[in-house]
Amino acid sequence: MKEKRGFHLTAPTWCKGCGLFGVFEALKTVAASLDFEPEDLVIVTGIGCHGRINNYFRAYGFHGLHGRAMPVATGIKLVNPRLQVLAVSGDGDAYSIGLGHFLHALRKNVGLTYIVVDNRIFALTQGQASPTTDFGAVTISTPFGSRDFPIDGPALALGAGATFIARGFSGEVTHLASLIERGMKHDGFALIEVLSPCITHNKVNSYDWYRKHIVHVESISDYSPRDKAGAWEALSHPGKIAVGLIYEEGKPSFEDLVLPDRRKPIASLDPGVDRTRLRRIMEGFR
């Protein structure tokens, strides 16, 4: 069954109750709200259960190698900055093998949207501990409890200089869609982490567990996403997980700084050489 807006092509095959269904619904809502044409959107995915998302959208898609969503998405955005580039990774894909790419893409402020679907487990490979797994959690790779302290992606992004940081919950689709839409309108790198229960391999961090532990920053008195100190405080409450638009600031995007014309694909630009300038440069080497 096809839908004109939302680009739904076929029924997803995730486990019944998987948080990815909420992410998928939010993405369809955003595609319809922003009135995307299929040729205007590129979805880049890594390796993991999330990797099938681009199979369900009538848009450009690229299923990359494990941890390599950022280099591919960055390349696409720079080659054709007119495209809306959306990258999707899991917590393992983003914060483990892909961590270096993630940090450098956000510090450069590349104009793409990065959705990190965090289920606190390596789900596709049957339940090993991931970089966001809770300390002490028993998994098939940590039968005596994990001895690694978890990574907090939004806190890491804030420290690395990200210009847009949000966190949503796949059990709150409307709220999540509003965050993704705002991130896609942001001029620069936008991180949206999604708390997404894995109902098959993570029996601890369930929908009910998240509902008991999340706190919406919108409910915090006088909270402003422009206040970095306030964002740090919101991310630092023990036992509570901040969701909502956590931080946003204006800064030139990477495309504005390096491209001659961000309105045009590189292939359409005049590759002509300024011979006078080139001659001056060559003379400097004589």
Domains and CATH numbers, the chain: 20-283 (3.40.50.970)
**pLDDT tens by residue, the chain, 286 residues:** 344 444 555 778 888 989 889 999 999 999 999 998 989 999 999 888 887 888 888 888 888 888 789 999 999 999 999 999 999 999 888 998 889 999 999 999 999 999 999 988 887 777 787 888 889 879 888 889 889 899 999 999 999 999 999 999 999 999 999 999 999 999 999 999 999 998 888 888 899 999 999 999 999 999 999 999 999 999 998 889 999 999 999 999 999 998 877 777 776 676 677 788 888 888 888 7
187 near 195, Cβ under 8 Å?
Answer: no
- Give this prediction's pTM: 0.89
Check residue 132 and give its pLDDT: 83
Distance between CA 206 and CA 209 in Å, rounded? 5
pLDDT attached to residue 52 = 80
Please tell me the predicted confidence (pLDDT) of residue 1: 33
CA–CA distance, 283 with 286 (Å, rounded to integer): 5
CA distances from 65 to 43, 72, 94, 236, 250 (A): 14, 9, 12, 33, 31
Which pLDDT score, from 0 to 100, does residue 8 have? 52
Residue type at 189 in one-letter notation? F
Strand order through the sheet with 190-195? 60-63, 41-45, 84-90, 113-118, 190-195, 164-169, 241-248, 214-216
128: closest CA among 61, 202, 78, 192?
202
Predicted confidence at residue 274, as pLDDT, reads 78
